Amino acid sequence: MSNKDPAKVATSLAYEIVEKVDASTLPGPDSGANQNNKSRSTLIAKNIVVNGRRTSVRMEAEVWKAIDEISLRERIDRNHMFTTVANRLKPHQSLTSAMRVFVICYYRDSSTESGHVRAGHGPRTRG
């Protein structure tokens, strides 16, 4: 068993993750909507096909990277992934929002003990 303080370990891990985020994708100080039209969107628009129909989705670069990583890892086409999520939308839920939630849930589930094993990494070791 480790003598490391769990709060310090979690904080350290959070700092590592933040350092990996591409700072150019984060909103800057002038990213507010009412600042004399000086704001620039950090969202990237991409065309996708959902159920055979082309549509455009705008999300942050880090979310697009995560979607591409999931698509590669799961060996599914990005359009198929979007279609699968779109077919499960709740009334009045946007596809963009649903995809962000999907990405969070995917990575959250893979960080659990059972998700870690399902991914082929074996059981996590404590300590």
Average pLDDT, the chain: 78
pTM: 0.63
Q: Where are the domains of the chain?
A: 61-127
- Phi first, then psi, for residue 80 (nearest 5°) are -65, -40
Question: Is residue 96 within 8 Å of residue 58, measured between CB atoms?
Answer: yes
Give the integer Cα–Cα distance in Å for 119 and 108: 13
Question: Is residue 74 within 8 Å of residue 109, measured between CB atoms?
Answer: no
User: How do residues 15-65 score in pLDDT, each as one tens digit?
Assistant: 555 555 555 555 554 444 444 555 577 999 999 999 999 999 999 999 999
Mapped onto helix, strand or coil, the DSSP state of residue 50 is strand
